[in-house]
């Protein structure tokens, strides 16, 4: 008999087939009020689970998964689970680092360019017929090339961003991280510093740190107050890493120039969020890794991870090992 696996995100046919050759799949399109009873019944039977980061499975849910051996997520982020709780049950959480670094760095750079050059605001002006004459300084953007980029969280994605900024845009790179990243220092002349110094001296601040108990709310009112008045804030990690109300205030009062956000405290972002009213906020619907190629590679990686881990091999891509 094949082990039972709970699949809670639609997969492309080829990868669903591959999963089905190894496991007896119990399939759900997400987890919501309408399928709660069936989903929780399947969770109690599952030896493996596989799905995306959008579905939160807190400890009280996972306590019901009494047969669980492996959790595999189609994401690099793992904040939808309590990693320590799963580690205490010797359940590995497998994730997909590596395959999404370049695409996510492209997204972050898009946010940098769009905010600096006011791309969406000006595009809307053209589309809405408000382009009546040559624009003046009140609508000019600010340069990206040659500026200072501060990266908070110099992991794989941070490094891919530093590569673009340093090699392509001649930017000065500085970073704050739990530990030094000597590779980034060597390859991109990145300068290591504490967060406060980074905030006070960067033209662009990009947060790329994972959401953990330590990083939750790490950028708030005090931190935005340290930033330069012309600086731009980018968040590509998780919404809860920052205090969103403090950011809104900093944008409304022009304490900082602009923000580019791919992640929010609540996703999808409610349409009545004050962020939606701000010309100096560029908002993406959590699309860091959302290209056809990369999302497919992430699924392949997550299926591989599950197959390997279910046979006892957690040597690659285990987030809580
Ligand atoms: C990730 O991989 O963690 C992305 O944020 C998509 O969820």
Is 107's C-beta closer than 6 angstroms to any atom of ligand 1? Answer: no
Domain covering 101-283 in this structure, CATH number? 3.40.50.720
Average pLDDT, 10 consecutive residues per value, the chain (321 residues): 97 97 97 95 98 93 96 97 95 97 98 98 98 97 98 98 98 98 98 98 98 96 98 98 98 98 98 98 98 98 98 96 80
If you measure from the C-alpha of residue 73 to the centroid of ligand 1, how many angstroms do you get, rounded to a whole number? 9
What token pair was written down for 147? 């500026």
Q: What are the Cα distances from residue 295, in Å, to 21, 88, 167, 261, 319?
A: 22, 30, 26, 20, 19
Q: Which of 100, 207, 239, 268 to mutate to test the pocket of ligand 1 (most atoms within 8 A of CB)?
A: 100
Is 75's C-beta closer than 6 angstroms to any atom of ligand 1? Answer: yes
CB burial class (10 A; 0-12, 13-18, 19+) of residue 10?
middle
Which atom of ligand 1 lies at the shortest distance from residue 298's CA?
Answer: 2
Is 76's C-beta closer than 6 angstroms to any atom of ligand 1? Answer: yes
Which atom of ligand 1 lies at the shortest distance from residue 54's CA?
Answer: 7
Which residue in the list 118, 238, 257, 308 is annotated as catalytic? Answer: 238
Could you tell me which CATH class the domain 4-99+293-310 is placed in?
Answer: alpha beta
Is 155's C-beta closer than 6 angstroms to any atom of ligand 1? Answer: no
The answer to whether the pTM exceeds 0.90 is yes
Sheet holding 232-235, edge to edge: 191-192, 172-176, 148-152, 204-207, 232-235, 258-261, 281-283
Do 4-99+293-310 and 101-283 come out as alike in CATH topology? Answer: yes
Please indicate whether residue 296 is annotated as part of the active site.
no
- Torsion angle, alpha carbons of 125, 282, 196, 189, to 10: -90
Which residue in the list 166, 257, 286, 308 is annotated as catalytic? Answer: 286
- Please name the residue whose Cα sits nearest to atom 2 of ligand 1: 75
Least Cα distance to 173 among 263, 302, 61, 184 occurs for 184
Asked if 108 and 100 count as a contact pair (C-beta separation under 8 A), the reply is no
Is 158's C-beta closer than 6 angstroms to any atom of ligand 1? Answer: no
Please indicate whether residue 238 is annotated as part of the active site.
yes
Which atom of ligand 1 lies at the shortest distance from residue 95's CA?
Answer: 2
Question: Complex ipTM, two decimals?
Answer: 0.93
126: helix, coil or strand?
helix
Least Cα distance to 194 among 176, 216, 172 occurs for 176
- In the chain, where are the structural domains located? 4-99+293-310, 101-283
The DSSP call for residue 64 is: T
Omega before 185 cis (within 30°)? no
CB burial class (10 A; 0-12, 13-18, 19+) of residue 34?
exposed
- Please name the residue whose Cα sits nearest to atom 6 of ligand 1: 75
Please indicate whether residue 16 is annotated as part of the active site.
no
Q: What is the 3-state secondary structure (H, E, C) of 152-195?
A: ECCCHHHHHHHHHHHHHHCCEEEEECCCCCHHHHHHHCCEECCH
- In this prediction, residue 321 carries a pLDDT of 80
């Amino acid at each position: 008999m094949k082990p039972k696996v709970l699949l809670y995100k639609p997969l492309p046919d080829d990868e669903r087939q591959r999963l089905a050759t190894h496991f007896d799949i119990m399939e759900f399109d997400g987890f919501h009020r309408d399928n709660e009873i069936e989903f929780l019944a399947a969770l109690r039977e599952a030896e493996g689970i596989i799905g995306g980061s959008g579905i939160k499975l807190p400890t009280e849910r996972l306590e019901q998964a009494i047969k669980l051996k492996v959790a595999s997520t189609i994401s690099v982020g793992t904040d939808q689970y309590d990693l320590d709780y799963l580690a205490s049950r010797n359940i590995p959480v497998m994730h997909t680092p590596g395959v999404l670094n370049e695409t996510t760095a492209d997204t972050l750079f898009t946010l940098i360019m769009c905010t600096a050059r006011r791309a969406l605001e000006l595009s809307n002006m053209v589309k809405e017929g408000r382009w009546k004459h040559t624009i003046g300084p009140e609508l000019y953007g600010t340069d990206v090339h040659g500026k200072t980029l501060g990266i908070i969280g110099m992991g794989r994605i941070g490094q891919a961003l530093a590569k673009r900024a340093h090699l392509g845009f001649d930017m000065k790179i500085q970073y704050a991280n739990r530990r030094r990243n000597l590779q980034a220092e060597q390859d991109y002349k990145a300068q290591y510093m504490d967060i406060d110094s980074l905030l006070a001296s960067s033209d662009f601040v990009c947060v790329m740190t994972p959401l953990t108990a330590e990083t939750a709310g790490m950028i708030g009112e005090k931190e935005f107050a340290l930033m330069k008045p012309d600086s731009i804030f980018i968040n590509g990690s998780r919404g809860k890493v920052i205090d969103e109300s403090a950011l809104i205030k900093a944008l409304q009062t022009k304490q900082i120039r602009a923000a580019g956000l791919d992640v929010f405290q609540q996703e999808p972002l409610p349409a009545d969020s004050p962020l939606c009213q701000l010309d100096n906020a560029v908002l993406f619907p959590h699309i860091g890794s959302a290209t056809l190629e990369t999302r497919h590679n992430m699924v392949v990686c997550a299926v591989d991870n599950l197959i390997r881990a279910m046979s006892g091999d957690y040597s690659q891509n285990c987030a809580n090992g």
